[in-house]
């Protein structure tokens, strides 16, 4: 019989996610066979070097995925049959600072190439759609609104201009979660209000649009990397600030 082996979880943005990934991979790779009883929470804590709450959250996540089941008074077991795995991002992950950073990094990997392809393949009609999305964004900001829908429409218009329908499907799958929670930034950066923050974002959008209009794929890559990289860096600083404040 194969046994659970968990290495020490290194300090990272999310210990819970790291533990979930470790346990999930062992189940899906067959190291933990169906029906295998998981060690006691205390043993998992010691192996992984994490707290009881981290183990509890990780187990709850794996139960929600259908990978493990509980038997009252007996313990936790690997499910007899594991569900077909599909890519999924839960809504709650969009509102957590650490997960927001990781989602932004995923977007960078996708959208940098997406913008480059848009610069190479866009039509005049698609370029007009990009500028229309930005004009709608400007109007929402002028009206004092958060422009989340318009922000999403901008990214969708770039996806459409790429000529690859899977980019559009990816952006639509994430939906408005593709736009990080504005309050995460404005609540922690006292020097910037929501309107100023939206103007910063819009200026970055316009650099992307200008590069696409000029059919300059490298400039489109650079502008997109700057836009998403700036957002990622802001969220990392906030996460570090929160940890210092909590004494972590």
So what's the pLDDT on residue 1? 44
Name the DSSP class of 70.
E
* pLDDT tens digits, one per residue of 125-146: 999 999 999 999 999 999 999 8
Quote the mean pLDDT of the chain. Answer: 82
So what's the pLDDT on residue 183? 59
Among residues of the chain, what percentage have pLDDT more than 90?
36
Six-digit token string for 193: 């209000």
pLDDT band, very low/low/confident/very high, at 100 (cuts 50, 70, 90): confident
- On whether residue 197 sits in a domain, the answer given is yes
- On whether residue 3 sits in a domain, the answer given is no
* pLDDT tens digits, one per residue of 37-49: 888 888 888 888 8
- On whether residue 85 sits in a domain, the answer given is no
Q: What is the CATH number of the domain that holds 137?
A: 1.20.120.530
Six-digit token string for 182: 């504005």
Question: 218 and 124, same structural domain?
Answer: yes
Q: Which of 54, 78, 102 is the last residue of a domain?
A: 78
So what's the pLDDT on residue 96? 65
210: closest CA among 115, 73, 104, 106?
115
Is residue 207 predicted with pLDDT exceeding 80?
A: yes
Is residue 87 predicted with pLDDT exceeding 70?
A: no
Higher local confidence (pLDDT), 226 or 148: 226
Q: Which of 78, 102, 131 is the last residue of a domain?
A: 78
Question: 96 and 74, same structural domain?
Answer: no
- On whether residue 9 sits in a domain, the answer given is no
pTM for this entry: 0.61
What is the residue whose two structure tokens read 């089941």? 69
**Alpha carbon separation from 74 to 52, 63, 193 (Å, rounded):** 19, 15, 53
- On whether residue 121 sits in a domain, the answer given is yes
- On whether residue 158 sits in a domain, the answer given is yes
Q: Which of 52, 78, 104 is the last residue of a domain?
A: 78
Q: Other C-beta atoms within 10 Å of 214: how many? A: 11
Higher local confidence (pLDDT), 228 or 24: 228
Ranges of beta strands (E only) in 62-216 are 68-71, 75-78
Angle (CA) 233-223-191 rounded to 5° is 40
- Please give the tally of structural domains in the chain: 2
Q: 218 is in which domain, residue-wise?
A: 91-246
Q: What is the CATH number of the domain that holds 58?
A: 1.10.10.10
């Amino acid at each position: 019989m194969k046994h659970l082996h968990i290495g020490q979880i290194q300090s990272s943005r999310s210990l819970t996610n790291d533990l979930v990934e470790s346990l999930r991979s062992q189940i899906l790779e067959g190291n933990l066979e169906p029906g295998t009883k998981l060690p006691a929470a205390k043993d998992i804590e010691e192996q992984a070097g994490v707290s009881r709450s981290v183990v509890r959250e990780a187990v709850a996540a794996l139960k929600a995925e259908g990978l493990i089941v509980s038997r009252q008074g007996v313990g936790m077991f690997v499910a007899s049959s594991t569900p077909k795995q599909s890519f999924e991002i839960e809504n709650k992950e969009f509102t957590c600072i650490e997960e927001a950073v990781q989602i932004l990094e995923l977007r960078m990997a996708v959208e940098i190439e997406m913008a480059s392809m848009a610069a190479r393949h866009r039509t005049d009609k698609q370029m007009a759609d990009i500028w229309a999305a930005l004009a709608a964004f400007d109007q929402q900001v002028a009206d004092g609104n958060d422009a989340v829908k318009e922000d999403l429409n901008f990214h969708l218009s770039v996806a459409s201009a790429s000529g690859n329908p899977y980019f559009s499907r990816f952006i639509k799958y994430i939906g408005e979660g593709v736009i990080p929670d504005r309050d995460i930034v404005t609540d922690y950066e006292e020097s910037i209000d929501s309107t100023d923050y939206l103007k910063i974002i819009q200026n970055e959008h316009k650099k992307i649009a200008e590069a696409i209009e000029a059919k300059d794929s490298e400039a489109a890559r650079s502008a997109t990397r700057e836009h998403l990289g700036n957002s990622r860096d802001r969220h990392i600083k906030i996460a570090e600030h929160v940890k210092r404040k909590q004494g972590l």
